[in-house]
Structure 1
Amino acid sequence: MQKLKLMAIAAVLATTAVHTPATAAPLPAPAADSGIVRVQSAYGVDETVARIEAAVAAKGIKFFSEIDQSALAQGAGISLPRSTLVQFGNPPLGIQFLTANPYSGLDWPVRMLVLQDADGKVWVAWTDFHYIAHRHHITNRDAQFKMASDVAASIARSTEGQ
């Protein structure tokens, strides 16, 4: 009996998730205090991801992974607008943050989110490195955080078009 109840609840949840529109509301701008930086891409999601990967490679930075969050959602029976997370970094630089505070490993390697909003606009978003420094109380790596910020902005600019 318990198993039947759980199966019924799962069926209702699955039906609700599949029929809940994921793009009903426009993508809100990040809150000012969220630490999120974003730029609008001039390209579709796939081209934006490809440009990020190319910019990372051109800088000699290690590319770690690409996670298609939309495909993961689809596999779970949930509709999600295009969303891909890319992870990359320069270990000699990133490890300096980890030595300052091991919990900063929650924010490293660098993550950039490429997402498409309800209007079809594609955005590149990442966490501001000064926000990360503040979050982890790292006060002795200003030059490294500036370097990481400059590199991330440069990589994101590769998606803005000419």
Structure 2
Amino acid sequence: MNVRFKHLLWVVSLLMPLSVFGAEGVIALKSSHSVAATADKLTTLLKDKGMTVMNRINHTAGAASVDLELRATELVIFGNPKVGTPLMQCAQSVAIDLPQKALIWEDESGQVWLGYNDPMYLKQRHGIEGCDAVLGKIAGALDNFATAATR
């Protein structure tokens, strides 16, 4: 990663509230748990709320399988057609970003983060019009899941 970009991210993170950091369409919250524990909590919360957890990818294990190192990094892929389908009806191209994903990673200082795509970023990216209620519902649900998993 470009040194100037890293420096900019560091400066911006100091200026934002300590619990939330967002960049390039990603909302990220600090977690008070390990990567595995955060992913476990998130997966349980999602299932308890009727979401389908399609996959959980351990990128660290993948890196190790080819003799490379990577700090703890997991991706949880989840969704619900009752929510995703109406969004795709508004702009079918949003299907490239569905199902939803949550990335949980440990940064270079040992801090664990949980990040997900900001629905307003998806609105802009796909030119979604007339679906503010659906986007608001998704935004609220993602915030609730992420907050509960990181505390």
So what's the TM-score if we normalise by structure 1? Answer: 0.77
Cα RMSD for the two superposed structures? 2.0
Q: Counterpart of 2:84?
A: 94
Structure 1: gaps (5+ residues): 1-24
**1:158 is paired with a residue of what secondary structure?**
helix
What is the distance in 2 between the residues matched to 1:55 and 1:33?
25
Deviation at 1:121, TM superposition (A): 0.9
Asked if the contact 2:22/2:28 (under 8 Å) is kept, the reply is no
Normalized per residue, which structure has more strand? Answer: 2
What is the distance in 1 between the residues matched to 2:130 and 2:54?
27
- Identity fraction in percent: 24
Deviation at 1:127, TM superposition (A): 0.8
Map 1:56-75; keep pairs closer than 5 Å.
Answer: 56-75=46-65
Q: Counterpart of 1:13?
A: none
Partner residue of 1:112 out of 86, 102, 105: 102
Q: Which has the larger radius of gyration?
A: 1
Deviation at 1:32, TM superposition (A): 6.0
Partner residue of 1:49 out of 13, 34, 39: 39
What is the distance in 2 between the residues matched to 1:32 and 1:71?
26
Figure out how many residues of one structure are paired with residues of the other and give that number: 136
Deviation string 1:26-79 (CA, Å, 9 cap, x unpaired) is 9x4689661110000110011100110111012111111101111111222221
What is the distance in 1 between the residues matched to 2:143 and 2:44?
14
Partner residue of 1:145 out of 125, 135, 141: 135
Amino acid at match of 1:87: I
**2:122 matched to 1:126?**
no
**2:140 is paired with a residue of what secondary structure?**
helix
Partner residue of 1:38 out of 7, 15, 28: 28
Amino acid at match of 1:89: G
